[in-house]
Amino acid sequence: MIIKPKVRGFICTTAHPDGCRAIVKEQIDYIKSQPHANGPKKVLVIGASMGYGLASRITAAYSFGAATLGVIFDKPASGARTASSGWYNTAAFESFAHEDGLYAKTVNGDAYSQEIKDKVISIIKNDLGKVDMVVYSLAAPRRTMADGTTYTSVLKTVGEPYTNKTIDLKNRVVSNITVEPATEDEIAATVKVMGGEDWKAWIDALKEADAIESDAVTVAYSYIGPDITHPMYADGSIGKAKDDLFAASKQITADGIKAYISVNKALVTQSSAAIPIVPLYISILYKVMKAHGVHEGCIEQMYRLMNQKLYCGDPVVDSENRIRLDDLEMQDEIQSEVNGLWSTITSENLDTHADLEGYYEDFYRLFGFGAKGIDYDAETDPEVTIDL
């Protein structure tokens, strides 16, 4: 079939296998081109098919030569539907890793479930013995518990409604949006889905099965951002979940495995595209960071995390023991320029105030569109297999 993007709201329902493959290759080539530290050798990545998790997997494999086991929740192609981009990314990563003589296996299923934890542990025991790093990079809209109860996360404020600018990306219109506060139940559900309970459950399960080294490191990702996004993010329902993730890092560490929160940069991913207000902030941030020559994508961030923050002697952390990959984003000169543009941005001056093209480019690339050297008018076979 000829595969073109079909965008509905903030997701694209198609993905391009050759484009995803080319974009995974670009990330691998970036890591290959960089000097590397001495890092872990057997790495479990939970949420490994897109965004920060995929970049973590690529970095571990190609900076350190690590064996990687990925947990993904993706769909193969079926009938007229393409596979999800995470499926194509994973198929591509595995084929490159195997060509390069690296162990790479993937488990496709719900990371929250005991069944998938058991399956992963049995693969670790059979193939790797023990892992020495666990990356927890899930971004999920819901979580179903063993008893069938499903919790759904929300992206709302806590306490008061919040009004600020947002962008309708389809029509390129800037307007005001009011985000309503979450109910107590919604906050609790968001914490269930995106908080630290499942991260800790994974580490406990690995410990119980003797499938994790005692000096292993585990990392999960968070975001803080500037004041304009705080009511929506850091102080909102997702922020409550991130507080819980941070608390879990302390508990996991107290229980014997060193756990870190890495505070990452705001980037276009399938998850961040869904948050009101944040995409407009991201498109202004891209403009400013690119102008200052300090823009990074997921792969540059994960390269720095592993090679310059985590595995370079003592981890480089802030006063609260968090790794700060948002250091460049939060620089005063970057934030004051972003603020100036934010206060004056309208639909009319979008092109001078924001990098909308950069935003769209990254958005389409999430689904394999816009990669160099791919003929998007060519017949393409959507069926791609992963050796699960």
Catalytic hit among 233, 260, 311, 364: 233
Active site includes 162?
no
Q: Taking CB under 6 A as the rule, does residue 358 contact ligand NAD? A: no
Site string for ligand NAD, 274-313 (x = CB under 6 A): ----------------------------------------
DSSP per-residue string spanning 250-305: HHHHHTTSEEEEEEPPP---TTGGGSSSHHHHHHHHHHHHHHTT----HHHHHHHI
Residue with the closest Cβ to ligand NAD? 51
Please select the residue that binds ligand NAD; options are 47, 196, 231, 382, rule is CB under 6 A: 47
Q: Taking CB under 6 A as the rule, does residue 24 contact ligand NAD? A: no
Please select the residue that binds ligand NAD; options are 72, 193, 306, 356, rule is CB under 6 A: 72
Residues 136-175 that bind ligand NAD (CB under 6 A): 137-140
What residue type is assigned to position 314 of the chain? D
List the structure tokens of 371.
Answer: 């990669």
The residue whose two tokens read 């927890």 is 136
Burial bucket for residue 153 (CB in 10 Å: 0-12, 13-18, 19+): buried
Give the count of residues interacting with ligand NAD (CB under 6 A).
Answer: 29
Smallest gap from residue 138 Cβ to ligand NAD (A): 5
Residues 262-281 that bind ligand NAD (CB under 6 A): 264, 266-267, 269-272
Q: Taking CB under 6 A as the rule, does residue 329 contact ligand NAD? A: no
Closer CB to ligand NAD, 67 or 298, in the complex: 298
> Is 226 in contact with 335 (CB distance < 8 Å)?
yes
Residues 179-238 that bind ligand NAD (CB under 6 A): 221-223
Q: Taking CB under 6 A as the rule, does residue 111 contact ligand NAD? A: yes
Q: b/e map of 16-44 (b: 16 or more CB within 10 Å)? A: bbbbbbbbbbebbebbeeeebeebbbbbb
C-alpha neighbours within 13 Å on the C-beta side of residue 200 = 19
- Could you tell me which stretch among 25-33, 71-79, 122-130, 175-183 binds ligand NAD (CB under 6 A)? 71-79
CA 244 to centroid of chain Cα atoms:
18
Closer CB to ligand NAD, 67 or 120, in the complex: 120
> Is 189 in contact with 152 (CB distance < 8 Å)?
yes
The residue whose two tokens read 């389809």 is 170
Smallest gap from residue 348 Cβ to ligand NAD (A): 27
Closer CB to ligand NAD, 66 or 263, in the complex: 263
- Could you tell me which stretch among 104-112, 150-158, 308-316, 343-351 binds ligand NAD (CB under 6 A)? 104-112
CA 296, 300, 301, 307: dihedral to nearest 10 degrees? Answer: -150
Burial bucket for residue 5 (CB in 10 Å: 0-12, 13-18, 19+): middle
Closer CB to ligand NAD, 320 or 351, in the complex: 320
Closer CB to ligand NAD, 129 or 290, in the complex: 290
Strands 212-222 and 131-136 turn out to be parallel
Q: Taking CB under 6 A as the rule, does residue 52 contact ligand NAD? A: yes
Binding region for ligand NAD (CB under 6 A): 47-53, 71-74, 86, 110-112, 137-140, 221-223, 264, 266-267, 269-272
Catalytic positions: 233
